Amino acid sequence: MQLFGIPNCSTVKKARDWLTEHHVSYEFHDFKKQGISTNIVSDWLAQLPWEKLVNRAGMTWRNLSDAEKMAVVDAASALNLMLEKSSVIKRPILVRDGKIICLGFTEAAYKELI
């Protein structure tokens, strides 16, 4: 399993702590240090609508200009934004065998999945 996110995000910290406490083995992929590839984001966009993957409640989105926000209208424009500013990707993303099994973190969802 892989957990994608950034280490200083409080929701990512909760997910990592939960996985560790429940002895679930995973590989952490840090967007900031390791980046994110076009192939990975394209795979995610094939699995979930771009509106779910772009975190429009986060600071990165809020700090975009109105023009930048209005330019995100479909999967292709969302892909470009996510590659340019990986912090705009909703996190954490828990992936098993290339498939997103959970977007975001709630203890209830993780208990159900694992």
Active site residues: 9
Angle between helices 38-47 and 75-84 (to 10 degrees): 140
How many residues are recorded in the chain? 114
Pairing verdict, β 27-30 and 2-5? parallel
3-state helix, strand, coil in the chain (%, to 5): 50, 15, 30
SS3 102: strand
Q: Which helix (H) or strand (E) holds 38?
A: helix 38-47
